[in-house]
Amino acid sequence: MTKINKLDRLLKTGQKLYHTQDLALLWQIANRNTLYTAIKRLVKKQILVSVRKGLYSVLPLDQLDPYRLGAALIHRYSYVSGETVLAQAGIISQKVYPITFVSSVPAKIKINDQVFLFRKLKEKYLINPTGISLVKGVLTAGPERAVADTLYFNPRYYFDNPALIDQRKVKQIQRQIGY
């Protein structure tokens, strides 16, 4: 595949973030050395930006949606939850700096002054879609699911504005998930 075809395919997909394997499939390159050489050349020409090992962007890091970036970082199923959703809903009043995700692996990753916190949830709870929806291309817990997740991780968590919590929905979600 020629350089122009690679660029053409890359830009036509509309995606902003690519894992190494995504690029291999997109460009139909089976040989790892050929793939890494092609990626290295595009990074050197500043067509691709290396986000972290195995993850590349066609945009500068400061122009990426931080939620989409966080979802792509660990290359596993994850969704935004916890303090991030609670702060957006006004249930907690503290400023939340890390974007909190729930996934199958725990991690704390810092990219370009943005911290991403991944909390590990058991697989049987993680795959239950109750209270999770797609928001701007990123799986995100609703406020009640975020409360249920937070209470799973910390049963004594203090909520600044408990009047905004629909306790009936939280209990229903907890029953459906099995917390």
pLDDT digits (tens, 9 = 90+) for 8-40: 777 788 889 999 999 999 999 999 999 999 999
Q: Name the 3-class secondary structure at 155.
A: coil
Q: What is the pLDDT of residue 94?
A: 86
The string of pLDDT tens digits covering residues 114-162 is: 999 999 999 999 999 999 999 999 999 999 999 999 999 999 999 999 9
Q: How far does CA 134 lie from the centroid of its chain?
A: 12
- Please count the residues of the chain: 179
d(C-alpha 179, C-alpha 168), whole Å:
15
Which amino acid is located at 149 in the chain? D
The string of pLDDT tens digits covering residues 57-103 is: 999 999 999 999 999 999 999 999 999 999 999 999 988 789 999 99
Q: What is the pLDDT of residue 6?
A: 73
Predicted structure pTM score: 0.88
Domains of the chain (ranges; CATH) run 3-62 (1.10.10.10), 66-177 (no CATH)
